[in-house]
């Protein structure tokens, strides 16, 4: 017994060492750094400053603007992905043909590098030669080309669209896997009882799919709250800061303004917000035993 437990720890030790140095240490380091001023004014030397950085965060209107923008982004993106993903998962689940092909194709947007796709979208949304404008003009929606990435709201919309494009098929795959765990007998029994399609969806599919939806939504919400590469490449936070997200603003405080202590405080604040967001989603979707 003793020997086997020693073996267990030996087998775990490389993983523990890596996690300790490269994941746990950074978290501790960020917490400590957030209590220091370390920037160009201090010649990049650390000077203890207590909670000053956090007071600055509290009064940093620009930061809170990026927070509400990022939340809006996450809400719009995850909401659309969930609606579209659920609709397409149901359609494909009930279709006898083409499931394998659908699964293969649905993986494509998800596995491809976001930075390459961001460039693809810049070209698609190009103001003069972009295919998005061309299609809208051909359909008669637009009379002349529109600078999608050159206007604040339109650029934000373009980012949401690019994100929804990439992750809807992924959402569909997750929900499809969840649908397949629902026993067919339940539907057969409901069909005998004579419930309508909508009733079956409400009383069987949705409640049994709820755990899957919860996991998928948490996962995607966390990801989109921390979104970095898509924004960095596609708009750079522009035009005029209109699409700057929390992650981009935090990164810039570190790497552009060299304000390390403040960047750390932003990061700690962002992480706390992330946990609050997770808690809120859990309250909304994750609790067990809600009436079906």
Partner 1 sequence: MKAPRRLGGRPWLAVLLAWCLAPLLWQAVTSVKPDAEITALPARYWPGQLTFGHYEALFVRRPFAHYLWNSFFISSCATVLCLAVSAPAAYSLARLKPKGGQGMLALLIAISFFPALTFFFPLYELVRAAGLLNNPISLIVPYATFNLPLGVLFLRAYFRTIPAEVEEAGLMDGLSRMQVMTRLVLPLAAPGLATTAILVFIASWNEFLFALTFMPRDEARTVTVGIAGLSGGSLFELPWGLIGAAIVISVAPLLVLVAFFQRRIVEGLTQGATVD
Please give the structure tokens belonging to residue 158. Answer: 């373009």
Check if the beta carbon of residue 73 is closer than 8 Å to that of residue 223. Answer: no
Residues 6+ apart with CB under 8 A from 99: 92
Check if the beta carbon of residue 281 is closer than 8 Å to that of residue 213. Answer: no
Residues 6+ apart with CB under 8 A from 22: none
Please give the structure tokens belonging to residue 52. Answer: 């000053």
**Residue closer to partner 1 (CB basis): 76 or 247:** 247
* 40: DSSP letter: G
The SS3 call for residue 228 is: coil
The dihedral sign for the CA sequence 228, 231, 232, 237: negative
Check if the beta carbon of residue 224 is closer than 8 Å to that of residue 77. Answer: yes
């Amino acid at each position: 017994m003793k020997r086997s437990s020693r073996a267990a720890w030996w087998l775990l030790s490389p993983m523990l060492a890596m996690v300790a140095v490269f994941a746990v240490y950074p978290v501790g380091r960020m917490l400590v750094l957030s209590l220091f001023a370390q920037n160009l004014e201090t010649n990049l030397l650390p000077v203890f400053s207590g909670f000053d950085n956090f007071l600055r965060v509290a009064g940093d209107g620009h930061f809170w603007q990026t927070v509400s923008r990022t939340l809006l982004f996450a809400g719009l993106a995850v909401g659309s992905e969930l609606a579209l993903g659920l609709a397409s998962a149901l359609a494909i689940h009930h279709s006898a043909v083409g499931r394998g092909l659908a699964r293969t194709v649905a993986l494509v947007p998800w596995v491809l590098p976001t930075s390459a796709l961001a460039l693809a979208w810049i070209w698609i949304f190009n103001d003069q030669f972009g295919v998005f404008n061309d299609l809208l003009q051909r359909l008669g929606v637009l009379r002349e080309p529109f600078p999608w990435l050159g206007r604040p709201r339109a650029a934000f919309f373009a980012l949401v669209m690019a994100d929804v494009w990439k992750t809807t098929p992924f959402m569909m795959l997750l929900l499809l896997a969840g649908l397949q765990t629902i026993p067919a007998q339940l539907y057969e029994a409901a069909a005998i009882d004579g419930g309508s399609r909508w009733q079956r969806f409400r009383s069987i599919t949705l409640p049994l799919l709820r755990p899957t939806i919860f996991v998928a939504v948490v996962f995607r919400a966390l990801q989109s709250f921390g979104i970095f590469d898509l924004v960095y490449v596609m708009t750079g936070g522009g035009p005029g800061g209109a699409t700057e997200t929390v992650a981009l603003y935090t990164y810039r405080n570190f790497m552009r303004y060299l304000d390390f202590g403040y960047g750390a405080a932003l990061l700690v604040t962002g992480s706390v917000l992330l946990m609050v967001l997770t808690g809120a989603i859990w309250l909304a979707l994750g609790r067990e035993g809600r009436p079906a």
